[in-house]
Amino acid sequence: MSILKPWRQVVTPHADIRQGKFDASVFAADLGEVLAGRGAVDYRDAKTFFSKTYLTHGLTQLLIDVMRRLGGSGKGEAVIQLQTAFGGGKTHTLLTEYHLFKKPNEVGKLPEIQQILATAGLKSIPAVNVACLVGYSTRRRQREDVLGRDGVPA
């Protein structure tokens, strides 16, 4: 029977973790903050985001399916429902798609994206218009429209 090695012997953590400078506030991604141009650079900047994102098999396959569909091949589902428990990567998946299609010239040069394009049989990331709706942000705005920012009916 083999014994598992401690994880620090198998992988090397990012520098911020090794140096004790990990900022826990960047642990939870917020799509609304990214869309507003705020929030942690780890999520806001496309290159930084991809440099810190491990593209799992499932996420890679999703990117391939979406690019094929948007690329006009007719392959891939028109609607994809992301179903995971809390912390399962739904927001991270949406951010991946957002950066991929919002900044195709920037992220399209990355080796991992080039590999995904080759697997998808595409020469480039399909050019699309990106629209995002963050549900909790909309509810907050609707409440403010009805009640005003101070919570008092307008």
Tens-place pLDDT, residues 103-113: 999 999 999 99
Instruction: Give the per-residue pLDDT at 14.
Output: 77
Phi and psi at residue 46, in whole multiples of 5°? -60, -50
The structure's pTM equals: 0.73
Q: How far is CA 81 from the centre of its chain?
A: 15
Name the percent of the chain in helix, strand, coil, to the closest 5.
50, 0, 50
Residue 19 pLDDT: 86
Structure tokens at 9: 């012997």
Q: Are 68 and 75 in contact (CB under 8 A)?
A: yes
Q: Taken in order 94, 98, 101, 105, is the CA torsion positive or negative?
A: negative
Radius of gyration of the chain (CA): 19
| pLDDT value at residue 25 | 65
Question: Are the CB atoms for 49 and 102 separated by under 8 Å?
Answer: no
Which regions of the chain are under pLDDT 50? 143-149, 151-154
| Residue 147: predicted pLDDT | 44
**Can you give the pLDDT at residue 120?**
92
